[in-house]
Structure 1
Amino acid sequence: EPNALVSLEKKGIYTPNAKATQVELYQGLNASAPTLNPDLIGKIKPLFKVFHKFMPAGFYYKTFMQPKKLWMFYERLLRSFAGISKSPVDLDSEHYDHTHHNCDVLIVGAGIAGLTASLELAKTNKKILLVDERPQLGGTSYEYPDDLVGETNQILHIKNIISQLEVHSNVTILSRTTAFAFHDENNVVANELRQDHLTPSVRNKKISRQRLHKIKAKHVLLTTGASERPIAFDNNDLPGIMLSSAGLSLLNKFSVLCGENVVIFTNNDSGYTTANYFAKYADNICLIDVRNKSSRVALSSKVKLYSNSAIINANGKDSVKSVTISELDSSSNLTDNRQTIVADAVLISGGFNPIVHLDCHTGSNPVWDDNLVAFAPILDKPCRSGAGALTGYIYAQDASDNASEQANNIISGSTTKLLASENYLNTVQFFNVPGFGKKQFIDMQNDVTTNDIELAIRENYKCIEHIKRYTALGFGTDQGKTSNVLGVAIAAQSQKLKMNEVGTTTFRPAYTPVAFGALAGQHVNDLFDPQRFTPMQPSHVNNKAVFETVGQWMRPWYFPQNGENMDKAVLIECAQTRNSLGVIDASTLGKIEIHGPDAREFLNRVYSNNWTKLPVGVCRYGLMLDENGMIMDDGVTACIKEDHFVMTTTTGGAARVYQWLELWLQTEWPELKVFLSSVTDHFSTTAVVGPNSRKLMESICSDIDFSQEDFPFMHWRDGTVCGVKARVMRISFSGELAYEINVQSNYGRYIWDKVIASGNKWGIVQYGTESMHVLRAEKGYIIAGQDTDGSVTPYDADLGWAVSKNKSFSFLGNRSLYRSDTSRTDRKQLVGILTEDKKLVLAEGAQMLNSTEDNKMLGHITSSYYSPTLKRSIAMGLVRDGLNRKGDKIVVSTAKGDKVNATIGSYVFFDPKGLKMNGNQ
């Protein structure tokens, strides 16, 4: 039943969108309609009937185009009619857990087939796990209690099997457990509802509400059964119209008669069985069969049969009151011979669909079976088989025999496929009443009609996957279990194709909705994600730093000296660093030592630029690409000795880069004699930045000549800083004269405090990551992962100078740079963006357009800040063909929907000649 959704309970135990017919009742159950005022909406909805012809599938995308500013209002209005619960806003007060199983045989489905197979296998020493989604084992047997297995009523037969299974210690039975995902190598995930059926006040807080079972099985036997499907006719969404199996479940499981004037509409023999059951309790039973009379099932004399007929219309307002039927000719077309029958309940059986979903989760596609008139599983994966109604054995005796044979095949290891059943329901292909109604619903929850399918095809959405998305067929909570085959049938009829030519939509996990809590299990609240701190952490805390997490590291974000907010603190930090002196903790940058006689060749292969002639004592910027030629990471690598290099990476990319290097070294280039060591935690790095940084370094280090001539940019020197041995690198990520002091980690805080104490005479300021971002953006230094997104080549980022064309051995990603896609002219390229309004700071991610009239997106903003140095906003962004559009005027869309004017230019906003990096003002 896809229509009846309810919200259960409140606050910490609130459950949205529960299927009413599958909720187990308990004392004090609190259920409510998903919409806030269902009575009001119920009164309003009939007013829309006159507009139905203007509201086909997807009408809201065609209708509510203008004005755009009202779309949010339209959306809220439409959603209020959808009958969907609101998401929880309170924390879940109950807990969930996970467990793992290893078994010889997993049996999914505990109907007559699953139970029979379990008993056969239980007699061996195999470890058996049986799971079933229902609270009561036996499947649909309770809907058909008179069916016999041998000479025994199948209900008694099932109870006998269960009692025998209970004495076998090698059998584990999990009821209320749905296998919702089937992965490769027979890995199955199932969710057990352990306490959902209990009143919340009596639930055991020491036991999880739900449990996720992760199952690894040597063999999986699917006995998932088959689900009934409807037949579409006009007004078939009226209350009182249901599947025959639903009516039988009410009658035989709960002793509820769904009506006094019951009409059963069928295209197969099961309708006769249904009619016979109802004839025991009601006097006015009519059976409408689109075929001639069944030769297999005898019909009770109390049932009035209308053969070669079909329901064409259900009549009534708030519920079904009668049905109009028509005789069918030999081609199943409607005739003029029609009549109306009183009905307060209509039961439909349009055939049975084997529940193939789990078999399809691993890539198998079901095939159309003309005997079953359904899509059947192919069960083509190793160590997998099926039995019972899933494979066409509908009747209890047949299902039991088939399951027993399959179990014996598993025991013997035989892979011989069993013969198909010869006892069918004689179903005919009659899916909807032809050419009559305008409101024949096939997906009740999403209001998809036969006309909607035909409309999608007329608009050239002919593939079943496209039809599904155009109409929202099967998008509801039942994921098309009652509607998809009808949708395929209508598509086949409209295009004059066979069912197997149309095929099915893709079946993906989860088979049924699963609570997020069950998926998360114990992994909630604060998780054990390590927090990493540099040795300077106590000093940062003492200096009132506000922190942010960067790749697990707790880095100072900014330093409010007198309670300033971030914006004001950044203005102070940037200005003082540019004008005098600043210091930043750079210890978090990834550091990888590369040793070995082939270290230089290794660098040549993993970096895009050339490393053949890099002398000892010199550093070089390196650009690392992935196999697709896209920027993956960047950093500076120093040559310590001919066979020893130190590579730095971005903070967040350190682990990924290290794994990447090891992958290639171990699997693709084992001939290279290279050894890698991650030394990020071994060193602390204090970066001294600003025009007075040379003066500071000269005051705390006497054994290094810091003159421009002896210690140029991108070089390093060994020396003694404040009495501690250090490796000093002249590297800048700000565009200022800067030095990085690298010492053993134990001395990190000592050096940091000494640098600050010595720098006070120049008004040294500590700055954090936010100021670092502003300073680097002013200078036009990119951040891999922010200004790049896995789709940016060096040429897109205007870094073609970092790509060497003279290597004897190609570097990673080189070949991909020459593909047609990576060399096309309309690729997004990194440029600078300056807004007309100098005070307006654009939002990162904002879309750029040619003009206010042209809505074609050019690209998006990647970095955006207010520059204290330039006293205006600056931004970097990826723009189509941006490098050839410098000087062009564009517009940028804001979050409020406004369009602001901007100009494309270079992304180097400050000191383009690099004079300040040498200490020149």
Structure 2
Amino acid sequence: MSDAYRIAGHGRLTPAKTIRFSFDGKTYTGLEGDTLASALLANGVHLVGRSYKYHRPRGFLTAGSEEPNALFDIARDSARRQPNVRGTVQEVFDGMKATSQNRWPSLSFDAGAINDVLSPFFIAGFYYKTFMWPRAAWNRLYEPLIRKAAGLGVAPTEADPDTYASRYTHCDVLVVGAGLAGLTAALTAARSGKDVIICDEQAEAGGALLYETGTRVDGKDGYDWARSVTAELAAMKNVRLMTRTTAAGYYNHNFVSLAERLTDHLPGAEASGPRERLWQVRAGQVILATGSIERPMVFANNDRPGIMLASAARRYLRQYGVAVGESVGVYCAHDSAYEAAFDLKRAGVRIAAIIDSREAPSAGLVDEARSLDIKVLTGHAVVNTKGRLRVKSMQVKALSSGKKRDFAIDALITSAGWTPSVHLFSQSRGKLIFDAEKERFVPGTYAQNSVCVGACSGTDAIHAVIGEAAAAGGGEAGYTGENAWRWTGGMLGAGEGAGADDHVKAFIDYQHDVCAKDIRQAVREGMASIEHIKRFTTNGMASDQGKLSNMHGLAIAAEMLDRPIPQVGLTTFRQPYTPVTFGTLIGHSRGALFDPARKTPIHQWADEQGAAFEDVGNWKRAWYFPKVGETKEDAVARECRTTRETAGIFDASTLGKIEVVGPDAEAFMNLMYSNAWSTLKPGKCRYGLMLREDGYVYDDGVVGRLGPDRFHVTTTTGGAPRVLNHMEDYLQTEFPHLKVWLTSTTEQWAVIAVQGPKAREIVEPFVEGADISAEAFSHMSVLECRVCGVPARLFRVSFTGELGFEINVPSDFGLSVWKQIYARGESLGACVYGTETMHVLRAEKGFIVVGQDTDGTVTPFDLGMGWAVSKKKTDFVGMRGLKRPDLIAENRKQLIGLVAKSNARLVLEEGAHVIVDPDTPKPVSALGHVTSAYWSGSLGQGIAFALIENGHSRKGETLYVPMPERNIAVEVVDTIFYDKEGARLHG
């Protein structure tokens, strides 16, 4: 089909560059640079969708990202398909397949339109009331139907074949919006030498300058000025100019997310590389130049296809060369609509009439309109429209006499004024103030280093915009501008149809079919807060986030409540500013990278040896090493026995490792851990217990002191990130006076643990420059030396209760050193062992695992580890928490050991409850639960840990563990089951 509504000589697209695309199976042509909206309008297509609730015919309302109606399903092929794409933003490309949504069986004949006839039953609050009454049988009937009807578009069923990227970056100044204000601010900041990022969601920078007439900047036409400034910025090395990029969210500390569309506008053959990219930007200063959004007029049946904003009609004409109709009506309460009418008239489009609800528009406007042979009716209102699938006429009423008349039209453009786009400012936690004169909210109190300039700050005059933007950029513009626009206040809730008639549908939220009467009903039913009104009516809850409807809803509610608008409140603007695809948010984090597996330098070797692996956090850890014909139990029993009798070699690289360095490192450690560090000498180690502020155990690990100002801290395998965050949080907020630097070194060190009676015999030949004899290198010592010729940190520690060494070498050498250590160990009868054996050996010695034997509500005293809480320190994190009455109460759950009394070979189930008397009538109160349980080959019996009430005072008691078959009698014992004296540690 030909683009019959394209006007020769108008617009800025190249006519020779034609594109073929389809909509609902019909093929159309467009021009390169067209949006789907402009291309369809050029072909005379206005009907593009159906509304959510009433399934009313809908067309294009806007020309930008605030569009609530024109949502399409866009496909390149069967796999590359995306629903709910705004046609006013999506650029056309060769081969595009666009499909309308929310209709069946076709767009022009939609069975769901019966909802419009039944609309008296679908009043505001219908959804909530329906699910409350009547219950039972009725709910089973209509609840499934309502849920089936819910939602917009159809989610793709095939895996997304596209790729998505993400980047982090910093800049001195981030400018959001590349209109007049944004370009001025960016140019000023860039010329002063600052690193600048300027972004705009449109394909071309310029904002309203792309379609305004009469605007001159620096002596040039506004559009030409924008192009020249854009070229200058693009050529500057300290500027990143980003078009097709939406600032989606504004977070703390000037952190802004940018969603960049990379290939959505390209045909399939050219769409290589990532489809979209998420930028996470930290800016020294954020300049918001986000402009303003035109308000529609509110009147009966103001939603028909062909009814749109005046600014949209102007943009389709000036930027794309498209007329929105042949006979266009204009209805307004703001001067800017006249400019649109003048542009259309000069392009040869018939203007049926300008209907202005004001009695006295700005001076000269009416005269200019009449000089162009345009009829102007002031003090009049459009009170209704007609037309099934497209507007055919408008009914106009004189506000003074009530006399009505009809005008034949095929398009109607409206303007009730402009609303500053303050979404990002509000997301930054800035506070808005109300401009009563022009009935709009504008930025007030700033919470971050940011500034709003131009229309989004309420600045209307072009010379003031330029001055304000230049000052924000850190200098002076050196040029001025003129504008033909007459900026005056609009009217909220404007239009006769916004009044008291509860029988007409005067829409304010076009996507959710919320009418003016719904707001009034919400108030009559007791809603006084705008947040309650919003949820009751769903006004502003659609995918456009109320960009067009919020202010009208506020005004109508304020009128009903007889309160000033600020007293009614303001809804919350949440991220993202406009919808962002899941692919953009996820980036590379899908498939194998959705939950990335972390592997140690020894992983490949363990895999080749047939190890079974388990997931510990993100780490893949060797669980056990079965030999041919061995079960898991056989392998673990063999590994335990060999380690106790000879030696075992274990990959401990996954332990979290943090370097704490600085002149105040000792003071910092004293504050972060419950035990004392001042008495720890360099070359020695100490078990460290870390608490939360509430006194509960947070993490633990061995800490080695390498020097007066340096500590090597180890954490649990999954605890390194949170422990580092915990430390950083306190260092930056509570102890900023301390000179300390924290560095995560988890992946910098490979750790090889050698445990057992022959551990020294295995390790000693490889140690260079150090004496590791029992006399020279005692238990809980650390030294820096060379092992197998590479730099190493050697720890004399043990998690098995046996003589033990932990060899830390740079990760690049981990596998090489491991192979040499293992070869010697194997020749002496040692074995390699996995995490299951490690757990059995540690349990036999009574060593806890934070996160398994603790549950976030356990104190050091509950664990029997009061010795790890310093009595001499005056302060540490958790010290005050430990003094809370509930943390020293007598009935607290405490860690104890359990063994079965009648069947020594029985292994209790982890998580099983522990009770006093199995004959107690139900319900039975549990004393606690089993935290970990294992078969101990060394002891020839099952052993377990449990957290139970008053556990420490119950040693020797008989308790019971309910099991599916029977109740198991267990004896409460000490948590140390093996080598209570610790003689084996000293080798």
Give me the TM-score of the superposition, normalised by structure 2. 0.65
CA distance in 2, matches of 1:782, 1:407: 61
CA 1:776–1:56: 2 relative to 1, 3 Å? farther
Q: Which runs of 5+ in 2 are unaligned?
A: 1-66, 765-770, 810-815, 899-906, 913-921
Partner of 2:155: 86
C-alpha displacement of 1:29 = 1.0
2:126 to 42, 56, 60: 56
1:813 to 878, 891, 896: 878
CA 1:358–1:839: 2 relative to 1, 3 Å? same
Q: Which runs of 5+ in 1 are unaligned?
A: 844-852, 893-899
1:226 to 272, 277, 292: 292
1:161 to 193, 207, 225: 225
* 8 A Cα contact 1:321 1:342, kept in partner: yes
Moved more, 744-753 or 615-624: 615-624
CA 1:868–1:3: 2 relative to 1, 3 Å? farther
CA distance in 2, matches of 1:138, 1:104: 19
CA 1:287–1:382: 2 relative to 1, 3 Å? same
Amino acid at match of 1:498: P
Partner of 1:19: 86
C-alpha displacement of 1:545 = 0.8
Q: Would you say 1:914 and 2:977 are equivalent positions? A: yes
* 8 A Cα contact 1:599 1:644, kept in partner: yes
CA 1:825–1:669: 2 relative to 1, 3 Å? farther
C-alpha displacement of 1:483 = 2.2
1:357 to 423, 430, 434: 423
CA distance in 1, matches of 2:742, 2:198: 51
Q: What CA RMSD, in Å, does the superposition of the two structures yield over aligned residues?
A: 6.8
C-alpha displacement of 1:370 = 1.9
* 8 A Cα contact 1:267 1:289, kept in partner: yes
C-alpha displacement of 1:24 = 1.4
Amino acid at match of 1:246: A
Structure 1 residues 519-560: Cα deviation after superposition (integer angstroms, max 9, x where no partner): 6778998889996636x6576334301335657765203434
Q: Would you say 1:28 and 2:95 are equivalent positions? A: yes
2:437 to 334, 346, 371: 371
CA distance in 1, matches of 2:739, 2:243: 57
C-alpha displacement of 1:587 = 2.5
C-alpha displacement of 1:227 = 0.9
Moved more, 666-675 or 628-637: 666-675
SS at match of 1:161: helix
C-alpha displacement of 1:506 = 3.9
Amino acid at match of 1:436: D
* 8 A Cα contact 2:844 2:977, kept in partner: no
Structure 1 residues 752-788: Cα deviation after superposition (integer angstroms, max 9, x where no partner): 566667668xxx8x65335656887899975435676
Alignment map for 1:149-548 (pairs within 5 Å): 149=215, 157-162=221-226, 164-165=228-229, 168=232, 175-181=243-249, 190-203=258-271, 205=272, 210=276, 222-233=288-299, 236-251=302-317, 253-254=319-320, 256-258=322-324, 264-274=330-340, 285=352, 288-294=355-361, 296=363, 297-298=365-366, 299-300=369-370, 303=375, 305=377, 307=379, 309=381, 311=383, 345-378=411-444, 384=451, 386-388=453-455, 391-393=458-460, 398-399=461-462, 401-406=463-468, 409=471, 413=475, 423-427=487-491, 430=494, 432-434=498-500, 436-437=502-503, 440-449=506-515, 463-464=529-530, 468=534, 473-515=539-581, 533=600, 540-548=606-614
Amino acid at match of 2:155: K
Moved more, 772-781 or 172-181: 772-781
CA 1:507–1:662: 2 relative to 1, 3 Å? closer
SS at match of 1:377: strand
CA distance in 1, matches of 2:949, 2:135: 27
C-alpha displacement of 1:386 = 1.5
Amino acid at match of 1:444: Y
CA 1:368–1:606: 2 relative to 1, 3 Å? closer
CA 1:868–1:407: 2 relative to 1, 3 Å? same
* 8 A Cα contact 1:623 1:802, kept in partner: no
Partner of 1:896: none
C-alpha displacement of 1:650 = 1.3
Amino acid at match of 1:294: P
Amino acid at match of 2:264: D
SS at match of 1:22: coil
CA 1:905–1:767: 2 relative to 1, 3 Å? farther
Partner of 2:850: 784
Amino acid at match of 2:294: E
C-alpha displacement of 1:86 = 1.8
CA 1:913–1:178: 2 relative to 1, 3 Å? closer
Amino acid at match of 2:177: V
C-alpha displacement of 1:485 = 1.9
CA distance in 1, matches of 2:536, 2:974: 54
SS at match of 2:613: strand
Alignment map for 1:520-919 (pairs within 5 Å): 533=600, 540-548=606-614, 550=616, 554-562=620-628, 569=632, 571-573=633-635, 583=648, 585=650, 587-588=652-653, 589-590=655-656, 605-609=671-675, 622-636=688-702, 648-654=714-720, 657=723, 668=735, 684-686=751-753, 740-742=804-806, 749=819, 752=822, 767-769=833-835, 783-785=849-851, 792=857, 794=859, 801=866, 804=869, 806-818=871-883, 914=977
C-alpha displacement of 1:814 = 1.1
C-alpha displacement of 1:134 = 2.6
C-alpha displacement of 1:263 = 5.0
C-alpha displacement of 1:354 = 1.5
C-alpha displacement of 1:103 = 7.4
CA distance in 2, matches of 1:678, 1:306: 74
Amino acid at match of 1:812: V
CA 1:196–1:591: 2 relative to 1, 3 Å? closer
CA 1:260–1:659: 2 relative to 1, 3 Å? closer
Amino acid at match of 2:310: S
| Aligned residue-pair number | 849
C-alpha displacement of 1:18 = 1.5
Structure 1 residues 712-750: Cα deviation after superposition (integer angstroms, max 9, x where no partner): x998999xxxx99999978557xxx65544457686555
CA 1:502–1:607: 2 relative to 1, 3 Å? same
SS at match of 2:222: helix
* 8 A Cα contact 2:665 2:709, kept in partner: yes
Partner of 1:850: none
C-alpha displacement of 1:350 = 2.7
CA distance in 1, matches of 2:138, 2:624: 40
1:140 to 190, 208, 211: 208
CA distance in 2, matches of 1:233, 1:773: 73
CA 1:448–1:57: 2 relative to 1, 3 Å? farther
C-alpha displacement of 1:352 = 0.9
* 8 A Cα contact 1:110 1:131, kept in partner: no
C-alpha displacement of 1:372 = 2.3
* 8 A Cα contact 1:265 1:349, kept in partner: yes
* 8 A Cα contact 2:331 2:356, kept in partner: yes
SS at match of 2:269: helix
